């Protein structure tokens, strides 16, 4: 199979001229190879990508003052640096590929080593190692990166979309076709193009691939600035359409009433809704204006479903919501007492998200159950958590979860409340449990990093002075994760002693008035 015709949507540009190669041979290169000679005498740069090394391209681009060149050369500067980045990606993949292939002692812990060394998430490290492994299997992708015809994102797309092909020769053929097409397609266009190719070369396996894909279903929470977040679900197509259809229907209701009539701008009118018991209210026939857009109504309807579950502690069919570490599932917000009282506006902390504005923290705390947490005035780190009537095991677990905030592995952001409790120094059944199961010797670890420690791939300890969680990788490199502070207002760190006692009135023999 060969790409005889360019796929639909393929982009071509007038930046490339037919006689570019011949014109380049007639001009002298300015401090660089012939490939860096501009095709036109009145321009400073050639049309990228060009057959040159990253050092040569970067050296030429660094010589140019952006204020001194025209629009064409500015475009080519952006394109030139993009090629430098692509070349660097190829060489990074080469180094990581060597880590994967050679017995460096890292074993299957390359992802974790890179995550710590580059201070990135485990998922970001997995992308780098997967890319390196894929380029090792398909060297033409590395060649395309060095040539500047593909970037890292397109290489990732090609590898991700062709991994479903079990036959190595068939996959290699589709990878080659995709690499050729990728020069003129955006990443989303390339995804669709590859999926068509995959269905063409392997139609019989589509049903089995659908079964495999179903096993990858998941829900993911992503942080966004300004106290917002995005939640996405990977579902079978029918389930996803069913969920959206239900949300769309709920979005037509205001206060549980009938479906609204949307206007051209997404706002609309709805009736007065129903009473709390679901029956028609006294004003159910009265129409009220709803100024929310349809997207806003969908978002509010979506959130209302899950807020209702947390508030009631039961699922829609009445089943109790499972507990975590002996506690009812709930939102957890950490906020200073001074902020709650309105004495300052320091941010609070929403577990599973991060910092939130003081106003939002106070709003969430209005109907909350409060728990005292003591911190060290010198650095705001956790010292003690107030006790309630939970069983001792749950109380100790709660203390560790409140202290660690997230998984104690460097860079991991899995909220502590979704983690497992681990003994820093492994539990010895021959020693008294009360000497080992203590807050000092316990930490919160997500399942992945807990297993990593249990398999002895990484060694963990806790610095008793700093509170740092210290990890040593299979390569012998040590990484430390410092305690996460609980921020309080400066006024709360000022010690105010008890009121001074009033001195007794001195004895006197004088009669009143004194």
The residue to which tokens 């006790």 are assigned: 387
Pairing type for strands 420-423 and 348-350 reads unpaired
The residue to which tokens 């740069």 are assigned: 45
**289 or 173: which leads in pLDDT:** 173
Helix/strand/coil for 385: strand
Helix/strand/coil for 55: helix
Give this prediction's pTM: 0.61
Most confident of 109-123, 346-360, 371-385: 109-123
Q: How confident is the model at residue 1 (pLDDT cuts 50, 70, 90)?
A: low
Residue 274: CB atoms within 10 A of its CB come to 16
Round to the nearest angstrom and report the end-to-end CA distance of the chain.
115
Position 319 scores a pLDDT of 83
Across all residues in the chain, what is the average pLDDT? 78
Residues 6+ apart with CB under 8 A from 332: 350, 351, 352, 417
- Residues 212/193, Cβ–Cβ less than 8 Å: no
What letter would DSSP give residue 415? B
The yes-or-no verdict on residue 456 having pLDDT over 90 is: no
- List, in sequence order, every beta strand (DSSP E) within 280-414: 287-290, 333-334, 348-350, 354-356, 373-375, 382-385
- Residues 404/511, Cβ–Cβ less than 8 Å: no
Least confident of 204-218, 230-244, 360-374: 360-374
Concatenating the DSSP letter of every residue in 89-155 gives: HHHHHHHHHHHHHS--S-TT-HHHHHHHHTT--HHHHHHHHHHHHHHHH-HHHHHHHHHTSS-HHHH
pLDDT in tens, 273-285: 333 343 434 444 4
What integer is the mean pLDDT of 382-387?
Answer: 46
Q: How confident is the model at residue 169 (pLDDT cuts 50, 70, 90)?
A: very high
Using CA of residue 366, residue 368, residue 369, residue 371, what is the dihedral sign?
A: negative
pLDDT in tens, 99-137: 998 877 776 788 899 999 999 998 999 999 999 999 999
Position 5 scores a pLDDT of 65
The distance from CA 411 to its chain's CA centroid, rounded to whole angstroms, is 11
User: Cα(93)–Cα(91) distance, rounded to whole angstroms?
Assistant: 5
The yes-or-no verdict on residue 13 having pLDDT over 80 is: no
pLDDT in tens, 472-493: 998 889 999 998 875 544 444 3
């Amino acid at each position: 199979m060969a790409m005889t015709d360019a796929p639909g949507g393929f982009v071509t540009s007038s930046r490339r001229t037919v006689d570019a190669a011949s014109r380049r041979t007639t001009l002298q290169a300015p401090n660089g190879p012939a490939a860096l000679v501009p095709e036109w005498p009145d321009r400073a740069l050639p049309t990228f990508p060009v057959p040159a090394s990253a050092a040569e391209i970067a050296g030429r681009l660094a010589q140019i003052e952006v204020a001194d060149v025209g629009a064409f050369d500015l475009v080519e500067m952006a394109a030139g640096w993009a090629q430098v980045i692509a070349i660097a990606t190829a060489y990074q993949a080469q180094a990581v590929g060597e880590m994967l292939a050679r017995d460096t002692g890292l074993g299957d812990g390359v992802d974790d080593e890179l995550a710590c060394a580059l201070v990135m998430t485990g998922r970001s490290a997995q992308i780098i190692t997967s890319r390196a492994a894929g380029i090792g299997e398909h060297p033409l992708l590395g060649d395309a990166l060095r040539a500047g015809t593909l970037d890292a994102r397109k290489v990732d797309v090609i590898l991700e979309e062709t991994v479903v092909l079990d036959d190595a020769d068939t996959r290699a053929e589709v990878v080659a076709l995709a690499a050729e097409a990728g020069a003129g397609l955006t990443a989303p266009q390339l995804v669709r193009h590859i999926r068509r190719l995959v269905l063409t070369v392997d139609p019989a396996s589509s049903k089995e691939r659908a079964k495999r894909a179903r096993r990858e279903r998941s829900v993911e929470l992503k942080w966004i600035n300004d106290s917002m977040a995005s939640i996405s679900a990977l579902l079978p197509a029918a389930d996803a359409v069913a969920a959206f259809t239900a949300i769309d229907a709920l979005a037509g209701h205001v206060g549980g009433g009938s479906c609204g009539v949307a206007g051209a701008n997404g706002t609309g009118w709805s009736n007065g809704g129903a009473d709390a018991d679901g029956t028609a209210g006294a004003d159910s026939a009265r129409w009220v204006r709803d100024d929310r857009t349809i997207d806003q109504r969908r978002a509010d309807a979506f959130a209302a479903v899950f807020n209702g579950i947390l508030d009631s502690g039961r699922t829609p069919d009445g089943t109790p919501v499972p507990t975590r570490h002996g506690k009812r599932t709930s939102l957890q917000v950490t906020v200073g007492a001074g902020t709650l009282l309105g004495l300052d506006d320091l941010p609070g902390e929403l577990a599973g998200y991060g910092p939130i504005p003081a106003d939002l923290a106070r709003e969430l705390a209005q109907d909350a159950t409060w728990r005292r947490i003591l911190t060290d005035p010198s650095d705001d780190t956790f010292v003690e958590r107030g006790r309630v009537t939970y069983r001792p095991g749950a109380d100790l677990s709660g203390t560790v979860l409140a202290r660690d905030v997230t998984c104690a592995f460097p860079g991991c952001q899995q909220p502590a409340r979704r983690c497992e409790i681990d003994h820093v120094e492994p539990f010895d059944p021959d020693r008294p449990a009360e000497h080992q199961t203590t807050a000092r010797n316990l930490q919160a670890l997500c399942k992945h990093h807990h297993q990593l420690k249990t398999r002895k791939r990484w060694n963990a300890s806790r610095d008793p002075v700093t509170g740092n969680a210290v990890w040593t990788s299979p390569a012998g490199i040590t990484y430390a994760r410092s305690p996460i502070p609980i921020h309080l207002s400066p006024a709360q760190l000022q010690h105010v002693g008890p009121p001074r006692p009033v001195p007794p009135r001195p004895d006197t023999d004088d009669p009143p008035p004194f």
